[in-house]
C-alpha cells in the first residue's frame, strides 16, 4: 500500500510539472518577441592618487622647550 501511494505521488508530481512547463512554453510562444535593450558601457574614471606632501619637522627653540618642560612640571605638582 505504501509503495503504491509513493509511486502515485511521484507520477502526479511529474505530470503536474510537465503541465506547468507546457503552459509556460505556450505563453512564451504567444507573446511577442522580446526586444533586447543594448547595454551601454560606462567609462570608468580613473582616480589619480595624490602623494601626500611630507612636512619637515621643525626643531623647537630653547624657549619653547623650556615652556613645555615647565608645563609638564606644573601639571605633575597639582595634586588633590
Structure confidence by residue, pLDDT tens digits, 22-71: 999 999 888 877 778 888 888 888 888 888 888 888 888 888 888 888 88
Judge if pTM exceeds 0.85.
Answer: no
Among 14, 16, 34, CA closest to 24: 16
**Taking a C-beta distance cutoff of 8 angstroms, is the pair 60, 68 a contact?**
yes
For the chain, where are the alpha helices, taking DSSP H only? 2-30, 62-77
How many angstroms separate the CA atoms of 80 and 75, rounded? 12
Which of 28-54 are b and which e, b meaning 16 or more Cβ less than 10 Å from the residue's Cβ?
eeeeeeeeeeeeeeeeeeeeeeeeeee
Amino acid at each position: 500500500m505504501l509503495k503504491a501511494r509513493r509511486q502515485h505521488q511521484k507520477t502526479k508530481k511529474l505530470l503536474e510539472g510537465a503541465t506547468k512547463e507546457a503552459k509556460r512554453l505556450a505563453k512564451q510562444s504567444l507573446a511577442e518577441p522580446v526586444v533586447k535593450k543594448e547595454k551601454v558601457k560606462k567609462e570608468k574614471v580613473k582616480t589619480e592618487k595624490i602623494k601626500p606632501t611630507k612636512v619637515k619637522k621643525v626643531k623647537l627653540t630653547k624657549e619653547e622647550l623650556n615652556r613645555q618642560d615647565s608645563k609638564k612640571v606644573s601639571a605633575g605638582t597639582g595634586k588633590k
